[in-house]
Amino acid sequence: MGFVRQPNLLADLIKVIVTEDEDIKNQITLATNSQTEVKPEQLASLTTFQKNLELYYEAMKDQIELYYERRSRQYHANSGVKKTQVISIAIQIKSFASAFLNSPHLVSGYYGTIAKRFKDKIFNNDHKYAPYYGSALCFYRLESLFRNKTIDTKYKKLGYHMIMLARILSMNSVTVDYLNSSKIEKKSEDFIKKLKDEEKYLKLFELVISVIEKSPLDLSKNQFKAESETKSLIDTLNSLNLLSKTNQ
């Protein structure tokens, strides 16, 4: 006698929700994530902040075309977009955390690990968008300088530390204003202006390299993951009295 499966009304229950509202769709995806295999970066791309940040990038394409890729392979089929112009969520997190959280020593590793490290410190709904764009533009400028050999690639292993130093030098301050304040928005906009001016951003990175060269860091190392190394760079910068000279 064969076994006959009895229907389990609870297990066989299927809930169908039909809606054209993108926010409702996103809320459903976020709420049911525990039962699905949605990657953290896919979830991040659904938030309102992420969508608005993408729109901010769109509005900033007056001189430099950067594309915020909040969805994986978003611009893959667009032949008019170069890979170097695309800022992924991972790059955004690393650049922002380095520049505005002074944490370049914490941005190595897998996306999920990095995202957990900065949970509640990044992509908050009340944050201004300019710091995010500014840090990404700094990444883009630095990568371009490495590619065309304007800056020796031996410094590339300190790339995110360089982004931190560039932000500090540009804003004339190690500490950062509240990320939801009008002050940080204005300072970030000034940072962006410097990064759009070739003469100014070249001078900025020259100062960054001078700090690295005069620091006690062992440049023969392949990785710099210690908080003490980040502190050493900041201490060196302060000892050189460069902050008061940056904006002259």
Q: Lowest-pLDDT range, 49-58, 69-78, 169-178?
A: 69-78
For 7-21, how does the pLDDT look when each residue is reduced to its tens digit (9 = 90+)?
555 555 555 555 554
- Distance separating alpha carbons of residues 71 and 158, to the nearest angstrom: 28
Nearest to 100 by CA among 176, 46, 157, 182: 176
SS3 category, 106: helix
Measured at the CA of 25, the angle between CA 127 and CA 19, to 5 degrees, comes to: 135
Judged against a pLDDT cut of 70, whether residue 140 lies above it is answered with: yes
The pTM assigned to this predicted structure is 0.83
Q: What is the pLDDT of residue 105?
A: 97
Query: Can you tell me the distance from the alpha carbon of 74 to that of 196, in angstroms, rounded to the nearest whole number?
Result: 25
Of 174, 171, 176, the residue nearest 238 (C-alpha)? 174
pLDDT in tens, 214-239: 999 999 999 999 999 999 999 999 99
Angle at 134 between CA 132 and CA 140, to 5 degrees: 105
pLDDT at 24 over 60: no
The reported pLDDT for the residue numbered 143 is 98
Quote the distance between the C-alpha of residue 164 and its chain's center: 12
Encode pLDDT of 171-227 as tens digits: 999 999 999 999 999 999 999 999 999 999 999 999 999 999 999 999 999 999 999
Of the two residues 138 and 243, the one the predictor is more confident about is 138
Give 234's contacts (C-beta < 8 A, 6+ positions apart): 102, 168, 174
In the predicted model, is pLDDT for residue 34 greater than 70? no
Q: What is the pLDDT of residues 78-127, one digit of tens each?
A: 989 999 999 999 999 999 999 999 999 999 988 788 888 998 999 999 99
Q: Which residue has the higher pLDDT, 76 or 146?
A: 146
| pLDDT score at 216 | 97
Q: What is the residue extent of each domain of the chain?
A: 22-246
Q: How far apart are CA 201 and CA 207, in angstroms?
A: 10
**5 DSSP 8-state letter:** P
In this prediction, residue 248 has a pLDDT band, given cuts at 50, 70 and 90, of very low
Q: Where are the alpha helices (DSSP H) in 107-158?
A: 111-117, 130-147
The CA distance from 19 to 25, in Å, is 7
pLDDT given for residue 87 in this prediction: 97
Q: State which amino acid sits at residue 146.
A: F
Q: Tens digits of per-residue pLDDT, 143-170?
A: 999 999 999 999 999 999 999 999 999 9
